[in-house]
Amino acid sequence: MLTLLKLLKDGRFHSGEALGAVLGVSRSAVWKQLQHLEAELNLPIHKVRGKGYQLASPLVFLDAEEITLKAPSLAWPVYISDSIDSTNAEALRLVDAGGVAPFLVLAEQQTAGRGRRGRKWVSPFAQNVYYSLVLRIEGGLRQLEGLSLVVGLAVMQALRESGVPGAALKWPNDVLVGQKKIAGILLELVGDPADICHVVLGIGINVNMQKVAEVDQQWTSVQLVTGSPMDRNLLVARLGVQLQRYLTQHAASGFAALQEEWERNHLWQGRAASLIAGVNQVDGVVLGVDRQGALRLSVDGVEKIYSGGELSLRLRDDS
């Protein structure tokens, strides 16, 4: 099916006879494969008698050479899969197999994409960016402080550079446009964080997705914001350059050097919010973050600090 899809990626009409000749199958076999493509990958295909078959819109596939050309300063090996359970899972498998960090894992589609707190990350084929960068960390716990917030800054800047000026941050791991989510971050760690470990920077960005029934929260995409499809290879290249810049600064000076910049770009700064931890809820006003990236919340006039991977921050109705 993917060979057939790559023949159709230009968005032009191709006759069933011509497609069958290239693939070495009958026209009826081509038609069956096209039906599978529509059903399994949710890609609309137009059929016009006398002209043939055409994708509703052209597809640009992820390409390691294109990414390298657009960001020559990056020296990360890039592994691209057509379809995979999740890029984070594949990254961890490569670490177990002895892969030398840093390296980048990308996919056209995830069949079991994951967000924070075990939530599903909807991952349609060839529409978005599913990105996992593996780093080797040797500096101990200090190199991990505020790391997910640093990644958020890089994602935000790459999106702004790509025509989404309203991209901003929500503690701890989301990038929003207004109240709609455009990107999420999931960090996973393997090894001893006090000594030598590997961390996977998992990033999902809604790029050209325009409709999907499975997402249970407000969302948007680069194309919905800008009105035009985005070259995902260019976005991946921009993201890599921004990550390189912010990670270098973080490694040299810690999160404290980026704390003020992060707070300036936090959408919910000064807003009334609720912090959810399981069945527990704490109401307060968002003051910002501390030098380690933990949330600073004013609760009944007293500043309190919260951190942890299972926390969720929500705006209160009276905010």
pLDDT at position 117, please? 53
Beta partners for residue 215, in sequence order? none
Instruction: Report helix, strand or coil for 197.
Output: strand
The answer to whether 181 is annotated as binding is yes
To the nearest whole number, what is the mean pLDDT of the chain? 90
The answer to whether 115 is annotated as binding is yes
Condensed to tens digits (0 to 9), the pLDDT of residues 211-263 reads 776 666 799 999 999 999 999 999 999 999 999 999 999 999 999 999 999 99
Distance of CA 318 to the CA centre of its chain: 31
- pTM of the full structure: 0.89
The answer to whether 284 is annotated as binding is no
Instruction: Report helix, strand or coil for 109.
Output: coil
- 116 secondary structure, DSSP code: G
> Can you tell me the mean pLDDT for 168-181?
95
Token output for 95 = 């670490």
| Residue partners of 267: CB distance under 8 A and separation at least 6 | 168, 169, 170, 176
Sequence spans of domains, the chain: 1-55, 64-263, 268-315
| CATH code for residues 268-315 | 2.30.30.100
pLDDT at position 121, please? 63
Domains 1-55 and 268-315 share a fold: no
Domain covering 64-263: architecture: 2-Layer Sandwich (3.30)
List the one residue out of 215, 216, 212, 159 whose CA is nearest residue 183.
159
Domain covering 1-55: architecture: Orthogonal Bundle (1.10)
What residues act catalytically? 116, 181, 314
